[in-house]
Structure 1
Amino acid sequence: MKTTATYTSFVAVGDSFTEGMSDLLPDGTYRGWADLLAARLAARSPDFRYANLAVRGKLIGQIVDEQVAPAAAMRADVVTLVGGLNDTLRPSCDMGRVRALLEEAVERLAPSCGRLVLMRSPGRRGPVMERFRPRMEALFSHIDELAARHGAVVVDLYGAEVLGDPRLWDVDRLHLTSEGHRRVAEAVWQALGLAPEEDWRAPLPPALRPPWLERRVGDLRFAREHLGPWIGRRLTGRSSGDGRPAKRPDLLPYEAPAS
């Protein structure tokens, strides 16, 4: 349903997906769908304020401990919460604990904001992700249940076939490209009831399948540069976000980054 509502504040909570990896800007920082959405919302409201508390690698327990209370205190018009997926990708995962923590986050955030937005995260096709897919889908079912109980909006990115297209994923096969983030921003924009500017689910043009040797070279590069280090962090309990602050910890007037 389209609305003429004006949103004057937006707080993003989550992990690398919401931080914006791998939508890289010329200065080496990440932009991502949340920044893109903030820019569009700011264009509708001169008094618009934006905070992004997301930090790469965060588990749902860390999101609850470090981000939920500050986000709730900001009393924003819109809060987005995306978390729990990193937990499902760990070698061992207590899904009962993940569900309980996600429920705690929703129960604290929903009454504090005008509109709480949850997401079924996009899923890249491929053999590595297949191992974790049952956990991911269990998480998404829980998100649907929480949204129904607390009046939150769910953006179903997982159900969008185009977001499984490898061309919308960075070379690490874990994070979306700039085009992928742009489509997510449009999806959330529409979920907020704002007039669509495009069909974010539209498929990409047909592409030629790379030769077998080129695909194998790409697989080896991925395993060496990304999969190996990622597995190492999972096994040792380390995170790519250890010691990293939030990109926009305070709810302040939005200013577009220099291009």
Structure 2
Amino acid sequence: MTVQASPPYLRYVALGDSQTEGVGDGDDVRGLRGWADRLAELLARDSPELHYANLAVRGRLAGQVRAEQLGPALALRPDLASVVAGVNDLLRPRFDADGVAGQLEAMFAALTAQGARVVTLTFPDLTRLIPAARPVAPRIAAVNDRIREAARPHGVTVVETGHHPVVTDPRLWSTDRLHASPLGHARIAAAVAEALGLSGSDGSWSHPLPPPAVRPATGPRAAVAEAAWVASFLTPWLTRRLRGRSSGDGRTAKRPTLLPVDGG
């Protein structure tokens, strides 16, 4: 992939769901950091006057991101925007890859038409982390294909993370296996920085981690760990879906206005 050198950005706005909000990197008491915050910090090294807003809210479907976040994002007139959505859609019973792509492309079109450079991500194969999720593997491939197709006509930068084995190293993921860990968020930020051509960025984010000090559980121990994960994370998630609830109910964006990177 040919990477264009990054111009100085003054207004970065992030749109999306829990990953962009920063779930898995910090907590709701101390505050969430996340890859978009980390990217803003990297951007600010080259652009000290950068202001940054994060409109992402956990649990949002692609259509909700468009309905709730696109208008406010356009009002902020970003010169750089990230749009990452679709994972929540592919985990729902009624999944429509073309519908997700339509929502994403509408956001890509509106932001680029206003002059913003837009960046997005494809998704790794979650089934390598969650064996029980194997039925959604074709959905992941389908939504990634649609993201690439939706991005192409608008010159959107697509950060391809799924091709690198390290992205499914469990150490890059939180205990729920759905959200990146602090290390994972740092790697995502570094991947986006490389795609944007930020000074000092390179492909080291894709390098494998050193061998773990403790071997992963196998056999009966692995089965016990899987059962614990189902009880702690999968069952509550399914319960919310059956009740028509979302982890983002009642939540608003953590950073809805443009602020200096060291001021929020």
When structure 1 is superposed on structure 2, of 210-219 and 32-41 the one drifting more is 210-219
Give how far 1:61 is off. 1.2
Aligned to 2:35: 33
Structure 1 length normalisation: TM-score?
Answer: 0.92
Counterpart selection for 1:205 from 184, 194, 210: 210
For 1:178 and 1:113, the matched residues in 2 are separated by: 32
The percentage of counterpart residues that share the same residue type is 44
Aligned to 1:234: 241
Q: Which amino acid aligns with 1:243?
A: G
Structure 2 length normalisation: TM-score?
Answer: 0.91
User: How big is the alpha-carbon RMSD for the aligned residues of Structure 1 and Structure 2?
Assistant: 1.8
For 2:249 and 2:42, the matched residues in 1 are separated by: 31
Select the structure that is richer in helix.
2
Gaps of 5+ in 2: none
Aligned to 1:143: 147
Q: Secondary structure at the match of 1:55?
A: coil
Give how far 1:34 is off. 0.4
When structure 1 is superposed on structure 2, of 214-223 and 52-61 the one drifting more is 214-223
For 1:179 and 1:198, the matched residues in 2 are separated by: 15
Q: Secondary structure at the match of 2:53?
A: strand
Q: Secondary structure at the match of 2:46?
A: coil
Aligned to 1:154: 158
Aligned CA distance change for structure 1 residues 113 and 51 (closer, same or farther; 3 Å): farther
Aligned to 2:13: 11
1:48-87 counterparts in 2 under 5 A?
Answer: 48-87=50-89
Q: Secondary structure at the match of 1:43?
A: helix
Query: Is 2:193 the counterpart of 1:189?
Result: yes
Q: Secondary structure at the match of 1:58?
A: coil
1:213-228 counterparts in 2 under 5 A?
Answer: 213-228=220-235
Aligned to 2:96: 94
Conserved 8 A contact 1:73-1:112: no
Q: Which amino acid aligns with 1:82?
A: V
For 1:211 and 1:144, the matched residues in 2 are separated by: 37
Conserved 8 A contact 1:14-1:81: yes
Q: Secondary structure at the match of 1:75?
A: coil
